[in-house]
């Protein structure tokens, strides 16, 4: 979603900002722009489409020591050059870039129009430039403060002033913002990735704070108008310049990284305690004895993370015997959630910046609930706002569709279930068995990836269809949901997941030759019933692709295509069955020539509600 970056320093700001935007490109966007002070005037260059279109529009001799830049993901107003940021105040004295949504923009705009102000875009953001300029005679800092006092909504905002070329002001409310402190240069961005390669020293800005930046100094001012001290953190930002290596897409690379990333989630084995048949997760800020008090676990997440949470429910309930609820975070706030003393809330998020998840955490925390974060992005908002938590260590996930983060989230939930479960319900021998199974996972995932060609054949079966059903029972139902999401988001084929048991209650009417079904059918409790469901589909002329972990002749005869993953403990089997499903989505999308890493309309990090 929108990315913002600002720079002040001795280097030419234009290439530094362009590099920053490229580092943020993975978040998804539809237009971009850059604003600098050039020959004592504010100059804006913006364009819809990809960054190379913006780059073509920038003349080579453009230079400046300060500038702000933006990648836009349209919310208010279509994808046009006029709606791209930066936006300028009517007198050309200030430009702004904005990440977030100004909820009361239409009232503000109407009032400003009545004062004779003319707007150039359909965005909510432009009102901010108008407001600051309205009060500019108070001086930049006061003008920004005054403008912010009118805003309802979320923002990460950067301001650049024509008459103060050595100054950038930034403000945050609900959208991420981080300052990067270099030698004789300052950065400010929505994501530290934007200044990777320049500096590792960062300060995370919190809600209600305003930052006044010059080349060598920064001042952070809180809501009460006091200047505050904040810690400078040394980040380990991956060297920024991402590479697909020999892979055609980041998505394929990330799918292939799973043996290594799952191993990292297990702390390269260090988070497992084989002798005690348990795991050890630091950072929870909980003693083992605190586990006895947990009466309920409530997981909050969105999208793929939500499905990881649904799998987590099975694993946690099975190993801890504690009831687990999983909530779509976007729905939770509106429902006045019940927060009880002995409920442990867990927020799952790859980016740690998902607005809906953050909103749910805030609602629970203000009711006194305790929330742990299971997060990939180090230092992200969710990581900082939760009382404790675990990093999943998936590494940078660049492709918009989440794959390795999903596997790492499920791995961490499994480790957590094992850790809590061993204090309550499960025996040493069962614990040891699970530790052994966990240790074997990376190798088993690799063996699936080595048979990738089999999936290419399966993908040929899907690419000509406009709709696909994904079906599974129990733990496999959650995998069906995640796999359907993956197919629809990268191939644009409509895909729907149902529990195989619900097939006869409606969806069976859809079955015909044009509607293929993908069944996740593993050995164990649900095996026989799922096979019966496959038979029902075949009896009605439906084509069936099966992802399984056992192969008997009956199943092979029923399936039009079958892919067998290695055997594992049933609770951990989703970490294997998901891999062919990810590859199936990838190769179907590839056959259809889709923009796999940046699917249309989607953003990597959903920072608006």
DSSP for 467-532, please give it: EEEEEE-THHHHHHHHHHHHHHHHH--EEEEEEGGGGGGTGGGG-STT--EEEEE-SSTTHHHHHH
- Which H or E element spans position 450? none
| Closest CB 533 distance from ligand F6R, rounded Å | 26
| Closest CB 249 distance from ligand F6R, rounded Å | 14
Check residue 258 for interaction with ligand F6R (CB under 6 A).
Answer: no
Is residue 42 a contact partner of residue 95, using CB atoms and an 8 Å limit?
A: yes
Among 349, 476, 527, 548, binds ligand F6R (CB under 6 A): 349
CA of 421: how far to CAs of 76, 268, 392, 431, in Å?
A: 47, 21, 20, 9
DSSP lists the bridge partners of residue 6 as: 68, 188
Exactly one of 2, 46, 48, 481 is catalytic; which is it? 2
Which range of residues in 30-38, 92-100, 349-357, 530-538 is near ligand F6R by CB under 6 A? 349-357
DSSP for 76-89, please give it: SS-S-TTTSSPEE-
Helix (H, G, I), strand (E, B) or coil at 391: strand
Task: Please report where in the chains the tokens 């400010």 appear, as a residue.
Answer: 188
Determine if the peptide bond prior to 86 is cis (ω within 30°): yes
Is residue 312 a contact partner of residue 360, using CB atoms and an 8 Å limit?
A: no
Region of 242 please: left (phi>0), alpha (psi -120 to 50) or beta: beta
| Closest CB 352 distance from ligand F6R, rounded Å | 7
| Closest CB 430 distance from ligand F6R, rounded Å | 31
Site for ligand F6R in 557-596 (CB under 6 A): none
| Closest CB 107 distance from ligand F6R, rounded Å | 30
Check residue 606 for interaction with ligand F6R (CB under 6 A).
Answer: yes
Residue 2 catalytic?
yes
Q: Which is nearer to ligand F6R, 58 or 378 (CB)?
A: 378
Q: Which is nearer to ligand F6R, 220 or 578 (CB)?
A: 578
- Residue 487-526 contact track with ligand F6R, rule CB under 6 A, x = bound: --x-------------------------------------
Q: Which is nearer to ligand F6R, 259 or 303 (CB)?
A: 303
Check residue 401 for interaction with ligand F6R (CB under 6 A).
Answer: yes
Site for ligand F6R in 429-458 (CB under 6 A): none
Reported residue count of the chain is: 609
Exactly one of 253, 313, 488, 604 is catalytic; which is it? 604
| Closest CB 51 distance from ligand F6R, rounded Å | 21
| Closest CB 173 distance from ligand F6R, rounded Å | 19
- Which H or E element spans position 6? strand 3-9
Residue 168: both structure tokens together: 């950038």
Q: Which is nearer to ligand F6R, 343 or 605 (CB)?
A: 605
Which range of residues in 133-141, 197-205, 345-353, 417-425 is near ligand F6R by CB under 6 A? 345-353
Is residue 160 a contact partner of residue 202, using CB atoms and an 8 Å limit?
A: no
- Which H or E element spans position 548? strand 544-548
Among 199, 357, 381, 476, binds ligand F6R (CB under 6 A): 357
Nearest to 301 by CA among 245, 349, 266: 349
Binding residues for ligand F6R, rule CB under 6 A, total 15
Q: Which is nearer to ligand F6R, 126 or 191 (CB)?
A: 191
Q: Which is nearer to ligand F6R, 485 or 562 (CB)?
A: 485
Taking CB positions, which residue lies at the least distance from ligand F6R?
A: 303
Task: Give every CB contact of residue 42 below 8 A, 6+ residues apart in sequence.
Answer: 35, 36, 88, 92, 93, 94, 95, 160, 162
| Closest CB 6 distance from ligand F6R, rounded Å | 24
Task: Please report where in the chains the tokens 């990284």 appear, as a residue.
Answer: 257
Burial degree of 179 (CB within 10 A; 0-12, 13-18, 19+): buried
Q: Which is nearer to ligand F6R, 148 or 300 (CB)?
A: 300
| Closest CB 324 distance from ligand F6R, rounded Å | 18
Q: Which is nearer to ligand F6R, 193 or 485 (CB)?
A: 485
- Which H or E element spans position 66? strand 66-72
Residue 604 catalytic?
yes
Within 10 A of 246 (CB to CB), how many other CB atoms are there?
8
Q: Which is nearer to ligand F6R, 380 or 548 (CB)?
A: 380
- Residue 475-494 contact track with ligand F6R, rule CB under 6 A, x = bound: ----------x---x-----
The b-or-e profile of 378-414 (16+ CB within 10 A means b, else e) is: ebbbbbebbeebbbbbbbbbbbbbbbbbbbbbbbbbb
Q: Which is nearer to ligand F6R, 211 or 596 (CB)?
A: 596
The CA angle 71-76-80, to the nearest 5 degrees, is 55
| Closest CB 359 distance from ligand F6R, rounded Å | 12
Number of H helices, E strands in the chain: 18, 27
Site for ligand F6R in 294-333 (CB under 6 A): 302-305
Q: Catalytic residue numbers?
A: 2, 604
Q: What residue ranges bind ligand F6R (CB under 6 A)?
A: 302-305, 349-351, 354, 357, 401-402, 485, 489, 605-606
């Amino acid at each position: 979603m929108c990315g913002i970056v600002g720079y002040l320093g001795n280097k030419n700001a234009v290439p530094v900002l362009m590099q920053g935007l490229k580092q943020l490109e993975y978040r998804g966007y539809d237009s971009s722009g850059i604003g600098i002070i050039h020959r004592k005037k504010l100059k804006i260059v913006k364009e819809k489409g990809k960054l190379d279109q913006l780059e073509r529009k920038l003349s080579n001799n453009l230079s400046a020591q300060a500038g702000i830049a933006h990648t836009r993901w349209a919310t208010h107003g279509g994808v046009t050059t006029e709606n791209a940021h930066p936006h300028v105040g009517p007198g050309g004295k200030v430009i702004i870039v904005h990440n977030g949504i100004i909820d009361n923009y239409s009232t503000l705009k109407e009032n400003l129009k009545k004062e004779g102000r003319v707007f150039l875009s359909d965005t909510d953001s432009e009102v901010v430039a108008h407001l600051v300029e309205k009060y500019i005679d108070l001086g930049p800092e006061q003008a920004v403060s005054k403008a912010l006092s009118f805003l309802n909504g979320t923002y990460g905002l950067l301001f650049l002033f024509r008459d103060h070329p050595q100054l950038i002001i930034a403000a945050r409310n609900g959208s991420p913002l981080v300052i990067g402190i270099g030698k004789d240069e300052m950065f400010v961005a929505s994501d530290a990735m934007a200044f990777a390669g320049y500096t590792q020293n960062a300060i995370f800005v919190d809600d209600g704070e305003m930052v006044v930046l010059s080349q060598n100094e920064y001042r952070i001012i809180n809501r009460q108008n006091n200047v505050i001290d904040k810690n400078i953190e040394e980040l380990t930002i991956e060297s920024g310049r991402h590479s697909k290596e020999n892979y055609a897409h980041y998505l394929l690379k990330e799918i292939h990284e799973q043996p290594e990333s799952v191993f990292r989630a297990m702390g390269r084995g260090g988070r497992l305690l084989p002798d005690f048949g348990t795991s050890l997760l630091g950072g929870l800020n909980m003693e083992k004895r605190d586990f006895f008090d947990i009466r309920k676990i409530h997981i909050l997440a969105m999208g793929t993370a939500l499905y990881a949470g649904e799998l987590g429910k099975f694993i946690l309930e099975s190993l801890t015997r504690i009831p687990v609820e999983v909530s779509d975070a976007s729905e939770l706030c509106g429902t006045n959630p019940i927060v009880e003393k002995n409920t442990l809330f867990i927020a799952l998020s790859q980016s740690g910046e998902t607005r809906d998840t953050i909103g749910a955490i805030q609602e629970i925390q203000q009711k006194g609930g305790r929330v742990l974060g299971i997060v990939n992005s180090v230092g992200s908002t969710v990581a900082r706002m939760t009382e404790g938590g675990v990093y999943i260590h998936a590494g940078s996930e660049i492709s918009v569709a989440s794959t390795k983060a999903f596997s790492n989230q499920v791995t961490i939930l499994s480790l957590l279930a094992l850790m809590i479960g061993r204090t309550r319900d499960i025996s040493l021998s069962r614990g040891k068995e699970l530790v052994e199974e966990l240790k074997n996972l990376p190798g088993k995932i690799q063996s699936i990836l080595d048979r990738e060609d089999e999936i290419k054949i399966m993908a040929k079966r899907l690419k000509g269809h406009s709709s696909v059903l994904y079906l599974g029972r129990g733990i496999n139902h959650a995998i069906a949901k995640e796999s359907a999401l993956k197919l629809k988001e990268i191939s644009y084929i409509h895909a729907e997941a149902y529990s195989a048991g619900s097939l006869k209650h409606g969806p069976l009417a859809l079955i015909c030759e044009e509607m293929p079904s993908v069944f996740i059918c593993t050995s164990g409790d649900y095996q026989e019933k799922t096979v019966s469901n496959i038979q029902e589909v075949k009896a009605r002329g439906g084509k069936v692709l099966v992802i399984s972990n056992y192969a008997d002749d009956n199943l092979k005869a029923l399936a039009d295509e079958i892919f067998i993953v290695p055997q594992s403990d049933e609770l951990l089997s989703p970490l294997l069955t998901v891999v062919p499903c990810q590859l199936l989505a990838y190769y179907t999308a590839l056959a259809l020539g889709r923009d796999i890493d940046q699917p249309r309309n989607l953003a990597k990090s959903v920072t608006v509600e």
